[in-house]
């Protein structure tokens, strides 16, 4: 069964004794989101700044950040604290949950140049009070610091229960642009914070991500189809299409470099599967462990004009068992 075969899920990591060894906690996000956050931080080297993280939780309770916002117009930051603009956060949150299905799963703030790389006692008290107040089972906090070199980001996962300290998480960065940043596009322009630090100033590979699992981030074989921009465009195209119909859809990368878009088809788990040697081998759909045909209205991806690509469009299987209308 393919649905648990994913290197993104900490539960799949080696566990010498599952009874005693808790799997590491991870945050999954896109390079575009940490770059945005780092640019916000670089705008404010001498005072704290911050914002919020939107996305969802994985099966094992790890945050998957899809979209990051910065400080609102009424946010306040000094050398020792940051307070978000609550009205701005609520307005962003309403739009992101109701139109994109993204939950408010965490927040971030910088500790200025000399600050701690961990949450202060006040930070943890604030998060725990908010979790109780809003009835949240877990919440994610990013603390950013600016060293002499590159910005550093540290992630902490708070969970309800007796544990006094948050878990420090490992980072797993997916390359490129979050599909939501692309999709939301200019809708928050003039509203969400636009960093003065220009794009490209802090490429994700220069950020210091505490406990980064760089070695485990998706690094495809040289000829893997997702190395090509048009391959990423195709994946985004189908992910968006599926997610429009199944809001809980998610992308998984298997250890063998199989890429799956997981979703539900008639209340059963289903997946669009890209084998590692795509497009030499075509993609296909599975549902209830059976290969099935694509949905009847499944669109063909058309590469952008002029896209130089080694990829040929792999024909989907002929329709057999599309979802009932
Ligand atoms: Zn703090």
When the pLDDT of each residue in the chain is averaged and rounded to a whole number, the result is: 80
Q: Mind listing the pLDDT tens digit for each residue in 208-237?
A: 776 555 434 455 666 788 878 888 888 888
Q: Which pLDDT score is estimated for 63?
A: 95
Do 279 and 313 contact (CB within 8 A), yes or no? Answer: yes
Q: Which pLDDT score is estimated for 21?
A: 45
| pLDDT above 80: residue 150 | no
What is the Å distance from ligand 1's center to 143 Cα? Answer: 7
What is the Å distance from ligand 1's center to 65 Cα? Answer: 20
- Please indicate whether residue 165 or residue 17 has the higher confidence score (pLDDT): 165
What is the Å distance from ligand 1's center to 288 Cα? Answer: 47
| pLDDT above 80: residue 106 | yes
Q: Which residue has the tokens 């609520």?
A: 90
Q: Mind listing the pLDDT tens digit for each residue in 156-178?
A: 999 988 777 898 888 888 888 99
What is the Å distance from ligand 1's center to 82 Cα? Answer: 7
Q: What is the mean pLDDT of residues 37-51?
A: 93
d(CA 165, CA 50): 22
SS3 assignment for 64-123: EEEEEECCCCCCEECCCCEECCHHHHHHHHHHHHHHHCCEEEEEEEEECCCCCCCCCHHH
What is the Å distance from ligand 1's center to 116 Cα? Answer: 8
What is the Å distance from ligand 1's center to 23 Cα? Answer: 27
Tell me the domains of the chain and their CATH numbers: 2-216 (3.40.140.10), 221-325 (no CATH)
What is the Å distance from ligand 1's center to 89 Cα? Answer: 18
- Please indicate whether residue 35 or residue 255 has the higher confidence score (pLDDT): 35
Residue 173 vs residues 182, 252, 265, 297: alpha-carbon distances, Å: 17, 13, 29, 33
Q: What is the mean pLDDT of residues 80-107?
A: 95
What is the Å distance from ligand 1's center to 184 Cα? Answer: 29
What is the Å distance from ligand 1's center to 110 Cα? Answer: 7
Percent of the chain with pLDDT over 90: 37
Q: What is the mean pLDDT of residues 30-52?
A: 93
User: Which of the 8 DSSP states describes residue 25?
Assistant: P
* Greatest mean pLDDT among 146-150, 238-242, 251-255: 238-242
- Please indicate whether residue 241 or residue 3 has the higher confidence score (pLDDT): 241
What is the Å distance from ligand 1's center to 45 Cα? Answer: 15
Give the DSSP letter string of 215-255.
Answer: GGS----TT-GGGSHHHHHHHHHHHHHHHHH-TT-EEEE-T
What is the Å distance from ligand 1's center to 112 Cα? Answer: 9
Q: Which pLDDT score is estimated for 212?
A: 57
What is the Å distance from ligand 1's center to 53 Cα? Answer: 16
What is the Å distance from ligand 1's center to 274 Cα? Answer: 42
Q: What is the mean pLDDT of residues 247-264?
A: 81
The structure tokens listed for 262 are: 């997981």
């Amino acid at each position: 069964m393919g649905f648990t075969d994913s290197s993104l899920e900490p539960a799949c990591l080696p566990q010498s004794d599952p009874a005693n060894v808790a799997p590491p906690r991870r945050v999954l996000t896109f390079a575009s989101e940490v770059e945005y956050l780092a640019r916000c931080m670089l705008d404010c080297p001498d005072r704290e700044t911050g914002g919020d993280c939107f996305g969802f939780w994985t099966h094992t309770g790890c945050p998957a950040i899809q979209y990051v916002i910065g400080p609102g117009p009424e946010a306040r930051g000094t050398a020792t604290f940051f307070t978000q603009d609550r009205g701005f956060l609520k307005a962003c949150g309403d739009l992101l949950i109701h139109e994109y299905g993204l939950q408010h799963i965490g927040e971030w703030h910088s500790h200025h140049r000399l600050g701690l790389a961990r949450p202060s006692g006040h930070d943890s008290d604030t998060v725990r009070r908010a979790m109780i107040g809003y009835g949240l089972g877990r919440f994610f906090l990013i603390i950013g610091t600016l060293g002499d070199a590159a910005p550093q980001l540290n992630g902490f996962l708070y969970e309800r229960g007796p544990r006094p300290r948050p878990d420090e998480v490992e980072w797993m960065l997916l390359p490129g642009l979050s599909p939501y940043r692309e999709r939301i596009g200019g809708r928050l322009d003039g509203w969400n914070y636009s960093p003065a630090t220009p794009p490209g100033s802090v490429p994700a590979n220069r950020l210091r991500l505490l406990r980064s699992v760089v070695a485990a981030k998706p690094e495809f074989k040289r000829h893997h189809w997702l190395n090509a921009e048009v391959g990423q465009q195709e994946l985004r195209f189908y992910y968006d299409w599926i997610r429009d119909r199944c809001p809980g859809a998610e992308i998984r990368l298997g250890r063998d470099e199989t890429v799956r878009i997981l979703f539900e088809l008639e209340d059963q788990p289903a997946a669009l599967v890209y084998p590692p040697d795509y497009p030499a081998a075509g993609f296909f759909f599975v549902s209830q462990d059976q290969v099935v045909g694509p949905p009847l209205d499944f669109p063909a991806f058309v590469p952008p004009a002029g896209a130089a690509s080694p990829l040929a469009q792999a024909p989907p299987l002929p329709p057999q068992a599309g979802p009932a209308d």
